[in-house]
Structure 1
Amino acid sequence: MSHHDEPYFPSSQPCLSYWQRTTRHWSRLTSGANESVPQTADVVIIGSGLSGALVAYELLYNPSPPSNVVMLEAREVCSGATARHAGHCRPDAYRGYSAYSAKHGSEQAIKILRHEKRVLQLMKTFIETHGIDCDFNYSKTVDVIMSQHFLEYVKRSYSDFDAAGGDLSDVTWLESEEAQKITRVSGALGAVEWTAATLHSVKLCQGILDMAMDLGLAIFANTTAQSVTMVRDGLWNVESSRGTITTPTVVHATNAYASSLLPFLGSIIQPLRAQAHAVIPTQAFTGQSLLTQTYSIRYSLVDFYSVAQRPRDGLIILGGANEEIQRDRLNWPDDCSVNKSIASNAIERLRSALSEWKEEAEGEGLQYGWTGILGMTPDSVPLIGAVPSLPVGHTLRLIQ
């Protein structure tokens, strides 16, 4: 079994993201943590991030809902990838066309990019319809081009997507001088702008879970699902750290941790560690001078930094990827610590890119960072649907 095929469970004491630090007052954060799970349930959902939360809500909001839906979470509620990102709700506008078309063909590549845009609109409608206070900010985003090599790649992707009939109606090309003026990024060789959003994903997830719990969802935090065993055709035992639940339906909403309970996914869902940071801006980026767009400051496909300044409090969420981060991702099971070298490099690149960023006063600059585990697939699209049937009595995974 290779390194990435080895199943693993969420760390017991992960570091805290900005999103978690600002929502620890939520009354249901550790719901059910001191209770035994029920012996039976109509549905068991493993994982309490956005995927699990939306499944629970949609099931219970249905005119004929299940009578007993249980959610198991190994740590605090909403503490995985949903709680550890860099603040963006950012559909791909064009750039992914080259990679997607090479793997899936032109028609499917266009459908994938169209679907990403649709997800943003569906999320916007859902948040507005239900009045969820999650700092949702519908705005513009830009790919800021910082190298000649990447400029050539972007032009090819843009041109190929256009020639294939892709929708560029929401996409604006900015030449170098205009790009530097609009983005305030010195050295920009060009930029591409389209519509995206920022949001507080934990507040969104908690809002959805609040609605689902009001409809009857039972959440058990700090409760690790240890194995899923078919006891007879159509019936499963979900063994957890707080007891065993028998159920006809199990929903795996575990993202990068999926292979812990479904080991055959070990070679399909690859866990990767990412890192983000909270940065207090200098005076040039405060008040009326906040950044009005979100950025991906890109030197290449694998060397970039995401920048999202929050309108509500002015905080900058800084993420990114480069060769050092790629090497650091070999430590993928660990979201308990932060790589200080990556943090230092990220803030230096931010200072370099934003020419108005001056010497920091005490309290300004990098405050803290956090890590999270992403689930990546070989074809860059998610796995959604039924898990293939297994022989009666076959145990998928037992905790060691």
Structure 2
Amino acid sequence: MTIRKADDATTGTVTLPPAGLPSRNPTESYWLRDPSPVLLGHRGTPDLPETADVVVVGSGITGAFAARFLKEWEEGKEGEERRRVVMLEAREVCFGATGRNGGHCQPLVYGSVPAVAAFELEVFEFMERFVREEGVDCDWVSLTGVHAFFSKDMFELAAAEAEQLQQSHPELAAQLDVVRRSDSSSTSDKPTLASLRVPSAEGAIIQKKAASLWPYKLVTSILERLIAAFPAPSFNLQTNTPVTSLARANNGAGWTLTTPRGTITARQVLLATNGYTSHLLPAFSDLIVPVRGQIGALLPPTSPNPKPIPVPAKLVHSYVFAADPELGSVAPRDDYLVQRPLPEEGELIYGGGRRLARGLGVGEWRDDEVEEEVARYLRANLAPVLDLASSHSHGEGGQQLQQQGKEREEEDELEASFEWTGIMGYSRDHHAWVGAVPESLGGGGPEGGLWICAGYTGHGMPAAALSAREVVRQMMGGKMGVEETGVRLPDEFVLHEERVARARELPHLTQGWEATNFAGLIGGAGVPAGGKGM
């Protein structure tokens, strides 16, 4: 990627090239190995409609929930009152970031703006309840999240932030536990670094709200049900239909989207395009930057004790491994892990290693390549930071487990059943962009009919669902969402001209770390974003 200098540093003019279209031959994600037969190649009508009331571009978690809320808004309405909603997807359903992420849903409670932390907790609880009440088969497992720090200084900064919440926001602090090297299981039942399987860490923060899931199955369940309940033209899903350009309609009322299959004009358009947003809105090139992440599905080691049969390690937490001391702010560790349920293979879904990627992955919008150096890091790096012994105890056997961990470090790298990449949308000011696109960015404000919900900075799973509901509420004139639920979109997510100006006073994204809370942690004000949403 080539970064161009702005003509005038005071104006914040675009310095990054816009993203291209999603790759036609992407890497094969673990989550996409069993695609929905209902949705594969789905087109609600053989031809692309010429008009619609609303077009949603993108079929990931944001697009799926937005479509659901749009149709929920119409409940009880009939005939002409019902909007014709068309969803356009460049590839197959959910083949973008949501189908390529780390399988986490975890709010970031500490080191974040309190309003954002509270919102993400609301989203988590909404998602947990939604999966349960709707009977969504997506392997949702509620657990706790362990953020293990391998730099003492950075752990102390993170711990100080977590402990400061006790005074400022005790309801948030109640969601956290701080674990130090000095903590011992012999004096209390409090977890230790050894019991958390991270004995070599300098310290850890436990977040009580976390989950692992099969994100593709969550999205496909929503869309399959929409297709069944609202057949075309009420809800018309069109896959393999990339939008190549977006322009005002000739009559000025609405927008015309051009695709290889023809054009479609709609009164309102919602871009749920995340890292690809700048392809259709080049003015966002410096505000939402594509960043490529990489993940592997690793087969876990089995117990060296063969009786009765070798058993894979069973993890009861999700993990973030953060902050190597030797690299500091230049390229900090930000790796993340969940395990697939046992007694199946129990694959370890391990992502990260971006500090080894070409250009740190910044500006990369193609997900058709696996970088071997990153893949090798993911296959070989997990054992030193995580105790992968198949059983764990606080008392006897602790030394044996440590010895097994040391032996594990010397073994060959783990076998990967899948290795893939995905494109995240990194926001210049850390936060998602939700609302009407202003005229200066290519829209026309609330009356212009162009909306966006994107830019999650690798943290979309605990933010997207209710961000989608908020943007739909705005599109429908404030008729749903806040009034009924009390859930309030954080001010930090709201899209307006003043925020754009403030964001453009920040440094341009050249490494990607500037848009994560790592940048704040190094300065004493933030921590890495756990729970990757890609």
TM-score range, shorter chain: 0.7 to 0.9
1:213 maps onto 2:244 in alignment: no
SS at match of 2:173: coil
Counterpart AA for 1:73 = E
> Deviation of residue 183 (structure 1)?
1.6
d(CA) in 1 for partners of 2:239, 2:215: 18
Structure 2 residue 136 is the aligned partner of structure 1 residue 132: yes
- CA shift for structure 1 position 35: 3.1
What secondary structure, in the 3-state scheme, does the structure 1 residue paired with 2:359 have? helix
CA deviations over 1:92-130 (Å, ceiling 9, x no partner): 021x33xxxxxxxxxxx1111111111100111111121
User: CA separation of 1:184/1:117 partners in 2, compared to 1, >3 Å: closer, same or farther?
Assistant: same
Alignment of 1:183-262 (within 5 A): 183-194=196-207, 195-214=209-228, 215-216=230-231, 217-231=235-249, 232-262=251-281
Where in structure 2 are the equivalents of 1:149-160 lying within 5 Å? 149-160=153-164
Greater shift, 81-90 or 3-12, is seen at 3-12
1:265 has 2:315 as partner = no
Using the size of structure 1 for normalisation, the TM-score is 0.88
Matched to 1:132, the amino acid is V
Which position in structure 1 is the counterpart of 2:314? 290
Match of 1:84 in 2: 100
Matches of residues 1-400 of structure 1 in structure 2 within 5 Å? Answer: 2=4, 4-21=16-33, 23-32=34-43, 35-62=46-73, 63=75, 64=77, 66-94=82-110, 96-97=111-112, 109-166=113-170, 167-176=172-181, 177=184, 178-194=191-207, 195-214=209-228, 215-216=230-231, 217-231=235-249, 232-284=251-303, 287=311, 289-300=313-324, 302-312=332-342, 313=344, 314-325=346-357, 327-330=359-362, 332-355=364-387, 356=389, 365-389=415-439, 390=443
1:361 Cα deviation after fit: 9.8
- Report the alpha carbon displacement of residue 223 of structure 1 after superposing the two structures with TM: 0.5
162-171 or 187-196, larger mean C-alpha shift: 162-171
Give the letter aligned to residue 9 of structure 1: L
Unaligned runs of 5+ in 1: 98-108
Q: Which amino acid is 1:158 matched to?
A: A
Q: 1:246 offset after TM fit, Å?
A: 1.7
* Cα distance in 2 for residues equivalent to 1:284 and 1:298: 27
1:212-241: per-residue Cα shift (whole Å, max 9, x none)? 212232111111112222122322211111
Give the % identical residues. 30
In structure 1, how many angstroms separate the alpha carbons of the residues matched to 2:106 and 2:427? Answer: 19
Deviation at 1:5, TM superposition (A): 2.7
Per-residue Cα deviation, 1:276-299 (whole angstroms, up to 9, x for no partner):
110000114985840011111223
SS of 1:186's equivalent in the other structure is coil
CA distance in 2, matches of 1:365, 1:164: 46
Q: Which moved more, 1:154-163 or 1:181-190?
A: 154-163
Q: List runs of 5+ in structure 2 lacking aligned partners.
A: 5-14, 185-190, 305-309, 390-404, 451-534
Task: Tell me which amino acid in the other structure corresponds to 1:54.
Answer: F
Write the deviation string for residues 322-361 of structure 1: whole angstroms up to 9, x where unpaired. Answer: 5223734046122101111111112322021234356699
Partner amino acid, structure 2, of 1:375: G
Larger radius of gyration: 2
Residue identity opposite 2:275 in structure 1: A
| 8 Å Cα contact 2:52/2:86 also seen in 1 | yes
Larger CA deviation: 284-293 vs 143-152: 284-293
199-208 or 319-328, which deviates more:
319-328
Q: Please state how far the C-alpha of 1:371 moved relative to its aligned partner.
A: 0.6
When you count strand as a share of all residues, which structure comes out higher?
A: 1
> What is the alpha-carbon distance in structure 2 between the residues aligned to residue 288 and residue 226 of structure 1?
47
* Matches of 2:278 and 2:414, distance apart in 1: 41
Aligned residues of 1:175 and 1:191 also touching (Cα < 8 A): yes
**Quick check: 228-237 or 141-150, which moved more?**
228-237
**Structure 2 CA distance for partners of 1:284 and 1:212, relative to 1, 3 Å:** same
Separation of aligned partners in 1, 2:136 and 2:218 = 7
Contact 1:43 1:66 in 2 (8 A): no
Matches of 1:327 and 1:10 in 2, distance apart? 19
Asked whether the 8 Å contact 1:142–1:192 carries over to 2, the reply is yes
Give, in whole Å, the separation in 2 of the partners of 1:186 and 1:205.
37
Measured in 1, the distance between the counterparts of 2:411 and 2:385 equals: 19
- Secondary structure at the aligned position of 1:42 is classed as strand
Matched to 2:316, the amino acid is T
1:248 aligned partner, one-letter code: R
Is contact 2:144–2:318 with CA below 8 Å preserved after alignment?
Answer: yes
Q: What amino acid does structure 2 have at the position aligned with 1:15?
A: T
* Contact 1:33/1:222 (8 A) holds in 2: no
> What is the SS of the residue equivalent to 1:307?
strand
Distance 1:118 1:47, change over 3 A: same
Cα distance change of structure 1 residues 364 and 34 upon mapping to structure 2, 3 Å threshold: farther
Pairwise CA RMSD = 2.6
Q: Secondary structure at the match of 2:158?
A: helix
